[in-house]
Amino acid sequence: MSIKLGDTAPNFQAVSTAGDIDFYKYLGNSWGILFSHPADYTPVCTTELGMTSKLKSEFDKRDTKVIALSVDGVDDHQSWIRDINETQNTTVQFPIIADENRRISELYDFIHPNASATATVRSLLIIDPEKKVRLIITYPASTGRNFDEILRVLDSLQLVDSHKVATPVNWKQGDDVIIPPSVSTEEARKIFPKGVTEIKPYLRYTPQPD
């Protein structure tokens, strides 16, 4: 199965370090991040899970629940978490799914045979409260994820959902945003009281509205 942007993220039941979970029930009405790891006790993954744990307050501020997946078993996960806590100076509090039969990895297209026939690639999905897939990023197993970028995109998605805007290149919280072409300049001046700067009829900026 190939999952694309805008698709409904498929539900699943799984065993995890937090016990048996139903993915939809775990997410509830929150945003969600599901990310896969090639295997337990791998150095890159250890740093990633440590960083995810350290960013808990940032994800909480964004009403976002995180959940990881690896193709090893729960006992290995639990032992690995102790290593992560020790080496990354943190306390992992989110579930890690045990996908030993690779059922969920195949459901979410985390196995790329030309990269590895058995291990998952380093994929990450952002899922909105309607269970729609809003972001897919896939890294090679050798390259760790950029969590500044993940938070940046999450901020952009949540801003875009609450206002009629888009975010320009390298946008970050507090920067000006773009008024999409579907909004006329006349309408934009009413919607965005902070002002509208028109560079071209199709390229117009306004201060971040929230």
3-class secondary-structure state, position 199: strand
Residue of 162, 118, 115, 157 lying closest to 136 (CA atoms): 157
Residue the block writes with tokens 């699943």: 12
Active site residue 59: no
Catalytic hit among 34, 45, 71, 81 = 45
Which amino acid belongs to residue 71? V
Q: For the stretch 142-172, what's the b/e string if a residue is b when 16 or more beta carbons lie within 10 angstroms of its beta carbon? A: eeebebeebbbbbbbbbbeeebbbebeeebe
For the annotated catalytic residues, the residue numbers are 45
